[in-house]
Amino acid sequence: MIRYKPNKTLIPLTPADANASDFQWELDPTIITWDGGNGTSSAWHLVDGELHYFMLPNVRVPVTGYSMNTDVTTIGLNEMVYADVAGGRFAIGDNVWEQSKYPPETFVNSEERYGSEIHIFMLLCLLAALNAPENTPLTIVTSAPPGLVNSVAKAIKQNLKYGEAKDKTGTWTIQMSYDKKPRSFIIGKVVVVPEGVGAFSAYAYDANGNDVLIPSSDGRDDLLTGQVHIHDAGHGTYDTYAVRNGKLDAESMAFATDRDAGVLRQMIEPVMDYIRDQFLKAGESTPRMKPVQVDAWLREWSLGKMKPNYARVKLNGRILDLQAIFELVSARFSRYIIEEKLERSYQQGADSILLAGGGWVYILPQILKQYPNKNILHPDVVPHLKGIPLWELNAYGALPMSASNKKVNRKVTG
């Protein structure tokens, strides 16, 4: 039986205050950071100085009735994870779209998705996977695209704090397929920040909220002062805005979110068009595909270092070699980002470009080739982010952000 367990990793850098006599962790396990993105949903928390996290593709498949075998055509109970919530029973995880006759649900690229039932469902699955504390108020720190955050923050907070019974208790229950009894989570507090703020914090602070400086290669300056442009290449949106000497540039926030420059529009849709076209040319009917499926293929390819072996997929009884089209859409995405995003940032005077989001994994080598002499921040060049993937920077970074905010406000009020 498949059973979700949190991934665990040591914090990348020992906190600067670890040897202080009054040292204590700023964050306890009840503070959960959550990036409920269009492509994947992931959550992190700190448990006695150890990072626990879990990620799920943003997809579920409804499964009705008592017995899974009557509804799910090709798999048995033991080979998939499903969750029972007030809204029904849903299978989750990669490849569920291949294994059920029901259409997968994703609810992406819409303002209404934030705080929606499926959005909250993904959080509940993550809380269960993390073994988050039950029956005690949790603080959820989450984010939304900067261009939408003002309009969706209230809906996210309200809907989470309403709770399952809409009684404003924030109480939710979920039973995973491997659980013997339901889990009960209480959402006590919800914090919503613009996407990118967590990523900036990941670079700026250690896991206990202490400042971490990032000297430039000549050692004379810090790469987070001056004009820092955050470039968050997500699944559904590409967000860009500026932080000037630590202050968010409100002007740039208003136009930060671009729905045409995310991985979905730039890579997934062209791949789907290409595949349909190839099937048609072969005289076959076009296959049924979902963006979440192609996204999973691309993630697999990137995890396999973009080698041809990882670009082979099965579809409609055929094996497809997608290496060439994956390389082509990556190259085009790279060119588009350089011309439409990065060049503009440099023309506006960016001292540093700060990268976040899974889109970069497909194009980072081309970007670094294009700008060998510019300050481009990504986890591989920052020791205190060693092992933190680009696509997790917003979720992970909300932990240092929270710790720093607690420290700073204690200093202000103390």
Partner 1 sequence: MAKRHYQKPPNGQAESGSYLLVFDLDDEAQAKAWEVAQELASQRKLKHVLVGMLLAVHTVQEQTGKTLDLLQFMASFITGLIHGRGGGYGGVQITEATEPEELPSMFAGTDDHIDPSDARETFSVGMGNLFGDEDDDELWN
For residue 13, the one-letter residue type is: L
Applying CB under 8 A, among 85, 118, 350, 354 the residue interacting with partner 1 is 350
Of residues 191 and 296, the one with the C-beta less far from partner 1: 191
Q: Does 171 bind partner 1 (CB under 8 A)?
A: no
Contacting range for partner 1; rule: CB under 8 A; set: 41-49, 220-228, 271-279, 288-296: 220-228
The site for partner 1, by CB under 8 A, has a size of 54
Q: Does 248 bind partner 1 (CB under 8 A)?
A: yes
The two three-digit tokens of residue 202, written as one number: 């990941």
Applying CB under 8 A, among 83, 197, 296, 325 the residue interacting with partner 1 is 197
Is the distance from CB of 199 to CB of 37 less than 8 angstroms?
no
Q: Tokens 């190259």 belong to which residue?
A: 331
Q: Does 166 bind partner 1 (CB under 8 A)?
A: no
Q: Does 164 bind partner 1 (CB under 8 A)?
A: no
How do strand 137-144 and strand 31-36 relate by DSSP bridges? parallel
Residue 72 C-beta: closest distance to partner 1, Å: 40
Binding mask 379-408 for partner 1 (x = CB under 8 A): ----------------------xx-xxxxx
Residue 67 C-beta: closest distance to partner 1, Å: 41
Distance CA 359, CA 262 (A): 7
DSSP line for 65-87: SS-HHHH-SS--GGGSEEEEETT
Q: Does 309 bind partner 1 (CB under 8 A)?
A: no
Question: CA end-to-end span of the chain, whole Å?
Answer: 51
Q: Does 90 bind partner 1 (CB under 8 A)?
A: no
The two three-digit tokens of residue 189, written as one number: 């507090």
In terms of C-beta distances under 8 Å and separation of at least 24 residues, what long-range contacts does 330-334 make, across chains too? Answer: 330/267, 330/306, 330/362, 330/363, 330/366, 331/366, 332/266, 332/270, 333/263, 333/266, 333/267, 333/359, 333/362, 333/363, 334/362, 334/363, 334/366, 334/367, 334/370
Distance CA 173, CA 187 (A): 11
Q: Does 336 bind partner 1 (CB under 8 A)?
A: no
Q: Does 409 bind partner 1 (CB under 8 A)?
A: yes
Is the distance from CB of 377 to CB of 354 less than 8 angstroms?
yes
* Integer Rg of the chain from CA: 22
Distance CA 332, CA 359 (A): 13
Collapsed DSSP state (helix, strand, coil) of residue 92: strand
Applying CB under 8 A, among 34, 121, 172, 205 the residue interacting with partner 1 is 205
Other C-beta atoms lying within 10 Å of the C-beta of residue 76:
9
Distance CA 232, CA 213 (A): 21
Q: Does 349 bind partner 1 (CB under 8 A)?
A: yes
Other C-beta atoms lying within 10 Å of the C-beta of residue 90:
24
Q: Does 243 bind partner 1 (CB under 8 A)?
A: yes
Of residues 101 and 220, the one with the C-beta less far from partner 1: 220
Applying CB under 8 A, among 189, 290, 312, 341 the residue interacting with partner 1 is 189
Contacting range for partner 1; rule: CB under 8 A; set: 79-87, 230-238, 272-280, 347-355: 347-355
Of residues 7 and 225, the one with the C-beta less far from partner 1: 225
Contacting range for partner 1; rule: CB under 8 A; set: 106-114, 176-184, 283-291, 363-371: 363-371
Of residues 28 and 321, the one with the C-beta less far from partner 1: 28
Of residues 302 and 404, the one with the C-beta less far from partner 1: 404
Contacting range for partner 1; rule: CB under 8 A; set: 33-41, 55-63, 239-247, 258-266: 239-247
Contacting range for partner 1; rule: CB under 8 A; set: 67-75, 113-121, 204-212, 289-297: 204-212
Binding mask 91-110 for partner 1 (x = CB under 8 A): --------------------
DSSP line for 36-51: E-SSEEEEEEEETTEE
Residue numbers of the site for partner 1 (CB under 8 A)?
139, 141, 154, 157-158, 161, 168, 189, 191, 193, 197, 200-201, 204-205, 209, 211, 213, 221-222, 224-227, 243-248, 343, 346-347, 349-352, 369-375, 401-402, 404-409, 412-413
